[in-house]
Amino acid sequence: MSDAIDLMVSERDAGQRLDAFVSRAAGMSRARAARLIADGALLVDDSPASKSLRLEPGMRVHVPGDEPAAEGLEPEDLPVRVVYQDDALLVLSKPAGLVVHPAPGHPAGTLANALVRLGGAGGDPGRPGIVHRLDAGTSGLMIVARSEEAFAVLATAMAAREISRTYLALVEGQPDTDTLTIDAPIGRSPRHRKKMAVVAGGKEALTRVTVLERHPRTALVEAKPHTGRTHQIRVHLAAAGHPVVGDAVYGRDRKLAGALGLERPFLHAARLSFSHPMTGAVIELEDPLPADLDAVLARARAD
């Protein structure tokens, strides 16, 4: 696994697309470069940027170290429930606490290890078949390709916002209205570089929120991200004044989660709707709240 590197943009490199520049200068595939950009892991002058960014002389591009290749991943039998499967793809229910892919501090025991056994394929070899990711503390539905062809179609559909994702979240306080649209750009926080925030000049981000239930100190909401920014739902709800209960990074009321017996963010990927990459048939799937969140919701209603 190679170390992280910083690349300086020269006069000769000016005008190139970011993904093309990184692919050539860092000696990686264009797909790998695009994946790093989509995940916000590749930084230009310390801020995430789009793959179509045209480079200017003097820019500094930070490229993180490579992830383990798929052949270095050991297959593991982990508690991942398969909701749907065929020759082209899998849809999994990821449990909270399961890291998606190996990283410093998590060399094994990740979803990627489970996918070696389950037959994920396509895209970055360190993330076999993973079309989109969920934070470690988030549970729910994820799409995984089982071939390069299926991955290419699904990744394109995700980028074109043709895959509908719906999350359930318990939030602090009471939104003023039953529906709200949060249209605010997201980028790296200027104060805390490991956090995301609503910032001027950030990437376009849009989330639609519907209040389903109102409780004494919380509300159950449905959140539909129309873009796929890092921590998007958590950042947008916090910016709206109603962060996800149990979110240690973006939350405000540190005691509320403890009072409700919640040990992780109350955020669950509950529904998916997309076209099958090979047949075009519409696939719609639901995943009920896991037992821990269901119990917390019952307590919130009675609080």
Same domain, 170 and 297: yes
Let me know if 3 is exposed, middle or buried by CB neighbors in 10 A (0-12, 13-18, 19+). Answer: exposed
Q: What's the pLDDT at 257? A: 95
Helix (H) or strand (E) run with residue 207 in it: strand 206-214
Query: Which CATH number do you get for residue 225?
Result: 3.30.2350.10
Asked if residue 281 is part of any domain, the answer here is no
Same domain, 201 and 135: no
* For helices 18-26 and 30-38, angle between their N-to-C axes, nearest 10 degrees: 120
Mean per-residue pLDDT over the chain, rounded: 88
Is 86 labeled as catalytic in the residue annotation? no
Asked if residue 248 is part of any domain, the answer here is yes
The residue annotated as part of the active site, out of 124, 135, 247, 287, is: 135
Q: Give the pLDDT band (50/70/90) at residue 61.
A: confident
Check pLDDT > 80 for residue 282: yes
Same domain, 174 and 123: no
Check pLDDT > 70 for residue 24: yes
Asked if residue 78 is part of any domain, the answer here is yes
Which residue, of 159, 184, 219, is where some domain finishes?
Answer: 159
Same domain, 144 and 231: no
Q: What's the pLDDT at 183? A: 97
Q: What's the pLDDT at 72? A: 66
Asked if residue 286 is part of any domain, the answer here is no
Same domain, 296 and 242: yes
Same domain, 33 and 133: no
Check pLDDT > 50 for residue 70: no
Q: Contacts for 187-195 with beta carbons within 8 Å, 24 or more apart? A: 187/47, 187/48, 188/40, 188/43, 188/46, 188/47, 188/48, 193/46, 195/231, 195/249, 195/250
Asked if residue 84 is part of any domain, the answer here is yes
Q: What's the pLDDT at 69? A: 43
Same domain, 148 and 258: no
| Whole-number percent of the chain with pLDDT over 70 | 94
Provide the domain count of the chain.
Answer: 3
Same domain, 26 and 122: no
Q: Where are the alpha helices (DSSP H) in 123-246?
A: 148-159, 232-239
Asked if residue 278 is part of any domain, the answer here is no
Which residue, of 63, 87, 109, is where some domain finishes?
Answer: 63
Same domain, 298 and 184: yes
For the stretch 183-208, pLDDT in tens is 999 998 888 877 899 999 899 999 99
Same domain, 298 and 201: yes
Query: Which CATH number do you get for residue 19?
Result: 3.10.290.10
Q: Give the pLDDT band (50/70/90) at residue 3.
A: low
Same domain, 11 and 139: no
C-alpha 168: how far from chain center: 15
Same domain, 94 and 153: yes
| Whole-number percent of the chain with pLDDT over 90 | 52
Q: Give the pLDDT band (50/70/90) at residue 51.
A: low
Which residue, of 133, 159, 185, is where some domain finishes?
Answer: 159
Average pLDDT of the residues in 56-66: 78
Asked if residue 137 is part of any domain, the answer here is yes
Average pLDDT of the residues in 102-107: 68
Asked if residue 287 is part of any domain, the answer here is no
The b-or-e profile of 228-244 (16+ CB within 10 A means b, else e) is bbbbbbbbbbbbbebbb
Check pLDDT > 90 for residue 88: yes
For the stretch 134-176, pLDDT in tens is 888 999 999 999 998 999 999 999 888 999 999 999 999 999 9
For residue 201, the enclosing domain spans 166-269+292-302
